[in-house]
DNA sequence: ATCGATTGGGTAATCGATTACCCGAGTTTC
DNA sequence: GAAACTCGGGTAATCGATTACCCAATCGAT
C-alpha cells in the first residue's frame, strides 16, 4: 500500500501538479512529461486513493442501495438490474439489507450518508416506521424509492402499478370461470402489501364477485404454506387464490396439493413478481410479471435528475405489469391474455 | 450537507481540537465544554464525514466482499451470514458481484482497493483466471477466500470439505442400494466443481461402484433440467444421481419426473448446499448441508488475524458438512445418516 | 516562594489528490 | 520593440477530522 502521487511525481522528476495533470489529462502537459509520469506510475504500480479524491471532490462515485432483504429473489433481481445499469457509469453500488427492520434501515442510511454516497436507492421496509429516516435522507442526497415507498410524498418513486397488476390477476381467474376469489398477501406494512390488497378488492367488487376476507401474513414461502393450510382447514376451497408474490403462491400451491387439492382444476393460483423460481414450481406458476429491468433503469435515470431536498413535486413512475399465464390457472381464449409455455421441464 | 466539526466548534465557542475531543471522548475535556459541544452538535445535526476520517486514519471501516453472483441463493446466504457477523463490529460491507466473469471480478477488486477497504472476502469465480487479481489483492490487504478458492496458495481460505461432502452423498445412495451412480456437476472452472467431482470419483471407486462419465455444465437449475434430459435420452437411468449443488438437483428432479421417472423409486437424487429452496422442491430434496453460518463467522474471524502480504503460510479451514436426508433418496437404517422431516407441506 | 508535574486548551500538521493562482518563456500583434 | 497572450510548470490551498506539539494555568511538595 501507499504509493502516492507524490511518489510518482518524484520518480518522474516533476511536481505533483504535473503528475496529476498528466494522469488525469485535464490539462495539457508536454508529451515528454506525460511519458515520464506514465512510466513512473506504471513502474510503481500507482493507484489513486479514492478516499482522498472523494474528500477533495466532494463526491464519492458511489450510490447506496437499501433493500429489505437479499434472501428475497425479487430484491436480488432488482439489485442485479441496478448493478447492470450502473455498470459502465463509473459509479459503484453500496448494497445494504435492512432485514425488514426500520431500526436497521435507519442505521444503514445513517452510515451510507456518513460515507457520503452520491445518491440512494431504497425500498423502505415499513410504510410508516421508515418515514423519518427516509425523508431525512432525501433531504440530504438525491433519493429514489423503488418498489415499496413511504407515504407523505417527499421522495420520488418508481415501481410497478400494483393495483393494475392485481386487476390483471383477478380478471384473469374470473375470465377462467372463478366465482370465488381469495387474496393471500402480507400484513399491511408496505405500500406493495396495501396496494395489492386494494387492487384485489376493487377488481373483485367491480367484477361482481364477492370480496372475501384476505389472508395476510408475510411475503414468504412459509406463509404461503400456512395460508394454504388455512384454506384447507376452512372446508370449502375458493375457485381461485391470487397472491401478493410468487413465494406465497409457490408455498400455497405446495400446501394445497399436499392436502389433496388439484391446481388448477380445483383451485387456480396466480402469483406476483415472476422472478426467480416461479418457473421452477410444479406446475409452473401463472403470475404477474414485474418489469424489473425497466424499473432499475428508470430508477437510475431518475436518480441522475433528482437533487437533494429538491422542492419540485415528487415524481411517481408506475410501470404497467403484464400477466404471464402458465399452468396454475386455466388459460382463457387466446388474445385475452398472453400465453407462455416457458418453464416446463421437457 | 456540510456541517463540519469547524461549524460545531464555532457554535460551541471552542477550538476544533476541543470539539473533536469532546465528541470522541479520546481525551478529557471539562464538563462545561463537553456539554456545549454536545449541544452544538445536536442542534446543527452534525454528522462526522467518514471520508475525511478514513483519509486521516488510513482505515475505512469497510470490508469488501466479492461473490460470483447474488442470484445464487448459496452466495446470498453466505453474504447474509457475513453481514450478520459484522453487524455490531462497526464495519460495513461493500458487496460486489463478479457475474462469474474474471474480468469483472478484477475490476471490482480494483475499485474496492482504490476505496481502501480494510479487508476482502472473496469467492473467486475462476480457479485459473482469477489468480492474478486475487493474489495481487492479497498482497495489499488482508484477504480471505470463502467457498471457492484459487490454487497457488497465497491466501487463506475457509469453506466446506467438498470431497467429504460428496463422499457422504455417494455413500448414502450406495447404502440405499444404488449400484450405478452418476455425478451431475459444473464445468471444472472452480475449486468446488473440481473437488466435488473428485469426491464423487474417489468415493465411488473406493466403494467399488463404477465411476461413470460425469455430466458437467453450470451450477444452475437450467443445467439440471438439461442433465436430466440427457439421462432420459440415454435410455437406461442410473440408480442415483449426486449433484454438485441444489439448483442442479432441483432441475434434475423436475426433468426426470417430467420424463416419467419416479424419484426416489427409480432414481435417487442428492443435492449439495441446503440453502434456499431445497425444501421447496417436490419431493423435498436430500442434500449435503454447508455450515454457512460457521463459514461466515470463521471467515470474519480469520480476516481479523490476516495481515496483508503476510509471509505466514496460508491457512485452509475445511469445515465438515453433514448429510440431510429428505425424500429424494431412500432413507437408510437409523444411525447411519441423519434423518430430517423438514420441508413437507403438512 | 519556587520548581516540577499535571491538566486541559489551542495551533497547525497530516492524510492524498486536485486545482486556484502565480510566474517565466515564447508568440503574436500593432 | 513592447504590450498582450498563450502555454505549461510549480507552489500551496483545499476538502474535514484527528492529533502531535506547545503553552498557560493550577496544584502539590519542598
Measure CA to C1' and name the residue nearest D8.
A29
- The residue among B13, B115, B8 whose CA lies nearest residue B54 is B115
pLDDT confidence bin for A152, thresholds 50/70/90: confident
- The backbone torsions φ and ψ at residue A103, rounded to the nearest 5 degrees and listed phi first, read -65, -50
Task: With CB atoms and an 8 Å threshold, state whether A55 touches B50.
Answer: no
b/e for A203-234, b at 16 or more Cβ within 10 A? bbeeeebeeeebbbbbbbbebbbbbbbebbee
Distances (CA, A) of A193 to A69, A185, A211: 16, 7, 17
User: For residues B329 and A152, which has the higher predicted lDDT (pLDDT)?
Assistant: B329
Instruction: List the grid coordinates of A200.
Output: 384485489
Q: Does A255 touch chain B (CB under 8 A)?
A: yes
- pLDDT at residue A339, rounded to an integer: 44
Distance separating alpha carbons of residues A321 and B44, to the nearest angstrom: 45
A325 to A285, A287, A337, A341, B178: CA distances (angstroms): 8, 6, 7, 8, 40
Mean pLDDT of chain B: 92
Kindly state the average pLDDT of the residues A151-161.
88
Across A154-168, A322-336, B228-242, least confident range: A322-336
Task: Pinpoint the alpha helices (H) of A120-182.
Answer: 131-140, 162-175
* Cα distances (angstroms) measured from residue A310 to each of A135, A314, A315, A316: 12, 9, 11, 15
pLDDT tier at A253 (50, 70, 90 boundaries)?
A: very high
Q: Which of residues 56-95 of A touch B (CB under 8 A)?
A: 60, 62, 69-71, 73, 76-77, 79-80, 83, 92-95
Cell 478529557 belongs to: B28
Percent of chain B with pLDDT over 70: 94
Burial annotation B114-136 (CB, 10 A radius, 16+ → b, else e): bbbbbbbbbbbbbbebbbebbbb
pLDDT for res A207: 96
Write the CA distances from B37 to A261, B30, B41, B50, integer angstroms: 68, 11, 6, 19
Residue of A nearest to B48 (CA): A114
Q: Specify the pLDDT at position A1.
A: 58
Q: What proportion of chain A, given as a percentage, has pLDDT over 90? A: 84
Q: For strand C, is any atom closer than 7 Å to the CB of A220?
A: no
C-beta atoms of B345 and A308 within 8 A: no
Instruction: State how far the Cα of A191 lies from the Cα of A138, in Å rounded to an integer.
Output: 18
Give the pLDDT of residue B237: 95
**What's residue B42's pLDDT?**
97
The pLDDT, as a whole number, for residue A139 is: 92
pLDDT in tens, A60-86: 999 999 999 998 889 999 999 999 999
Q: Is the pLDDT of residue B339 over 70?
A: no
Structure letter (DSSP) for residue B237? P
Alpha-carbon distance of B6 to B17, in angstroms, equals 9
Q: For the residues A269-276, what does the mean pLDDT come to?
A: 92
Element (H, E) at B43: helix B31-44
pLDDT in tens, B243-297: 999 999 999 999 999 999 999 999 999 999 998 667 777 788 999 999 999 999 9
pTM for this prediction: 0.90
In angstroms, the CA A236 to CA A259 distance is 13
Residue B24's nearest nucleotide, by CA–C1', is D18
Amino acid at each position: 500500500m501507499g504509493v502516492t502521487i507524490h511518489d510518482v511525481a518524484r520518480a518522474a522528476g516533476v511536481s505533483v501538479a504535473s503528475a496529476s495533470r498528466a494522469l488525469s489529462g485535464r490539462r495539457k502537459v508536454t508529451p515528454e512529461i506525460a511519458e515520464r509520469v506514465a512510466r513512473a506510475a506504471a513502474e510503481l504500480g500507482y493507484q489513486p486513493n479514492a478516499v482522498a479524491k472523494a474528500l477533495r471532490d466532494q463526491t464519492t462515485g458511489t450510490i447506496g442501495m437499501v433493500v429489505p432483504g437479499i434472501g428475497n429473489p425479487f430484491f436480488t433481481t432488482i439489485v442485479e438490474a441496478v448493478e447492470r445499469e450502473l455498470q459502465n457509469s463509473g459509479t459503484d453500488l453500496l448494497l445494504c439489507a435492512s432485514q425488514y427492520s426500520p431500526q436497521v434501515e435507519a442505521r444503514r442510511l445513517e452510515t451510507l450518508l456518513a460515507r457520503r454516497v452520491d445518491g440512494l436507492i431504497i425500498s423502505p421496509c415499513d410504510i410508516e416506521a421508515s418515514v423519518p429516516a427516509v425523508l431525512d435522507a432525501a433531504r440530504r442526497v438525491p433519493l429514489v424509492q423503488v418498489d415499496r415507498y413511504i407515504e407523505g410524498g417527499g421522495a420520488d418513486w418508481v415501481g410497478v402499478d400494483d393495483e393494475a397488476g392485481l386487476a390483471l390477476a383477478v380478471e384473469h381467474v374470473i375470465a377462467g370461470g372463478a366465482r370465488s376469489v381469495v387474496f393471500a398477501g402480507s400484513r399491511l406494512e408496505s405500500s406493495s402489501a396495501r396496494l395489492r390488497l386494494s387492487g384485489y378488492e376493487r377488481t373483485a367488487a367491480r367484477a361482481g364477485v364477492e370480496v372475501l376476507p384476505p389472508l395476510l401474513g408475510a411475503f414468504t414461502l412459509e406463509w404461503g404454506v400456512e395460508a394454504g393450510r388455512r384454506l384447507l382447514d376452512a372446508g370449502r376451497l375458493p375457485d381461485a387464490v391470487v397472491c401478493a408474490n410468487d413465494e406465497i403462491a409457490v408455498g400455497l400451491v405446495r400446501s394445497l396439493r399436499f392436502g389433496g387439492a388439484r391446481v388448477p382444476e380445483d383451485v387456480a393460483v396466480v402469483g406476483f413478481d415472476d422472478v426467480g423460481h416461479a418457473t421452477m414450481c410444479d406446475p409452473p406458476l401463472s403470475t404477474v410479471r414485474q418489469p424489473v429491468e425497466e424499473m432499475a433503469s428508470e430508477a437510475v435515470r431518475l436518480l441522475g435528475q433528482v437533487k437533494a431536498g429538491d422542492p419540485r413535486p415528487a415524481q411517481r413512475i408506475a410501470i404497467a405489469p403484464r400477466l404471464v399465464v402458465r399452468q396454475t390457472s386455466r388459460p382463457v381464449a387466446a388474445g385475452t391474455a398472453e400465453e407462455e409455455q416457458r418453464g416446463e421441464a421437457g
